[in-house]
């Protein structure tokens, strides 16, 4: 197995994008192998690379890791992005779970025929349930947990950008979150990741949706 970190997923955001963000903040270079056809996916299944026949899969340190949260946790632990003690890690995990719940609602939108009601639901959930939590946590604090950046901060940055793409202005009543976003965007890692030509994937387009539907044989 290669020494390189290799990401196996579609050429699009989906469940892999948070992993790309975290690797960028960890300063880890990686390569990608895109699933473009059903055969690409079946090959990974038949060679035993996918524990649950699902992607994302990441080759790292001689392992083939699956399950998005397990992958994120491994990278966060390895690169000290997971909080310095048990209680901090519990806080980090709670924030990350909430953020992932919200991001999952957004990442499935391109696969929904009439997304408007879902977008409305995301807007009210974001404003009433999620953003108030982060607004409060960031009152007088630079980071969500402790004195250093953690995976929770990286995911909050990713989530705020995703929200604003769908709902411009949604942060208007959340000034601490907006300031946090500005600080995070000023980090070298974020600046590089947001440069054109970086590993960041664009917003989902028709080609990405069509590929996912064909490769996974999704039916609606
Ligand atoms: N719990 C797993 C994880 O978090 O990694 C779920 C992984 C998963 O559902 N993977 C999908 C898959 O491989 C691809 S991502 N499905 C095949 C199967 O048979 O289950 C699907 C997805 C996209 C965009 I693309 C948004 C949300 C999900």
Q: Is 73 in the pocket of ligand 1 (CB under 6 A)?
A: no
Interval between CA 111 and ligand 1 midpoint (Å) = 13
Q: Backbone phi, then psi, for 64, in 5-degree steps?
A: -115, 95
Domains of the chain: 5-79+193-216 (3.40.30.10), 86-185 (1.20.1050.10)
206 CB-side CA count, 13 A = 0
Q: Backbone phi, then psi, for 207, in 5-degree steps?
A: -65, -45
Q: Is 199 in the pocket of ligand 1 (CB under 6 A)?
A: no
Which residue from 54, 66, 99 has its CB within 8 A of the most atoms of ligand 1, so it is best to mutate? 54
Mean pLDDT value across residues 163-190 = 98
Mean pLDDT value across residues 169-185 = 98
Mean pLDDT value across residues 90-115 = 97
Mean pLDDT value across residues 64-69 = 98
Residues 156 and 189: beta-carbon distance below 8 Å: no
Give 103-162 pLDDT, tens digit per residue: 999 999 999 999 999 999 999 999 999 999 999 999 999 999 999 999 999 999 999 999
pLDDT band at 3 (very low <50, low <70, confident <90, very high): confident
Q: Which has the closest alpha carbon to 104: 130, 77, 76, 75?
A: 130
pLDDT of residue 2 exceeding 80: no
pTM, to two decimals: 0.98
CB atoms within 10 A of CB 64: 17
Mean pLDDT value across residues 7-26 = 98
Query: What pLDDT, on a 0 to 100 scale, did the predictor assign at position 219?
Result: 87
Q: Is 55 in the pocket of ligand 1 (CB under 6 A)?
A: yes
pLDDT of residue 166 exceeding 70: yes
Q: Is 108 in the pocket of ligand 1 (CB under 6 A)?
A: yes
Whole-number Cα distances in Å, 180 to 84, 156, 177, 219 = 21, 9, 5, 40
**Of all helices (H) and strands (E), which one includes residue 47?**
none
Query: What pLDDT, on a 0 to 100 scale, did the predictor assign at position 220?
Result: 74
pLDDT band at 1 (very low <50, low <70, confident <90, very high): low
Residue owning tokens 């299944």? 45
Mean pLDDT value across residues 6-16 = 98
Mean pLDDT of all residues belonging to the chain: 97
4, two tokens: 């390189």
pLDDT of residue 44 exceeding 90: yes
């Amino acid at each position: 197995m290669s020494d390189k970190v290799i990401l196996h997923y579609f050429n699009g955001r989906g469940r892999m994008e948070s992993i790309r963000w975290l690797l960028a903040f960890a300063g880890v270079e990686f390569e990608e192998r895109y699933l473009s056809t059903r055969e690409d996916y079946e090959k990974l299944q038949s060679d035993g690379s996918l524990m649950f026949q699902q992607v994302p899969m990441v080759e790292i340190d001689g392992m083939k890791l699956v399950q998005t949260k397990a992958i994120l946790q491994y990278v966060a632990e390895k690169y000290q992005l997971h909080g310095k003690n048990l209680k901090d890690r519990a806080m980090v995990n709670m924030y990350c779970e909430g953020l992932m719940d919200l991001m999952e609602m957004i990442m499935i939108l391109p696969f929904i025929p009439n997304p408007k009601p879902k977008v409305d639901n995301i807007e009210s959930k974001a404003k009433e349930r999620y953003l108030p939590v982060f607004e409060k946590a960031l009152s007088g604090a630079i980071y969500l947990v402790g004195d250093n950046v953690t995976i929770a901060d990286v995911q909050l940055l990713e989530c705020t950008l995703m929200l604003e793409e769908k709902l411009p202005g949604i942060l208007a009543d959340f000034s601490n979150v907006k300031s946090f976003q500005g600080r995070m965007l000023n980090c070298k890692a974020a600046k590089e990741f947001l440069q054109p030509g970086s590993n960041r994937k664009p917003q989902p387009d028709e080609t990405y949706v069509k590929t996912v539907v064909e490769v996974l044989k999704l039916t609606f």
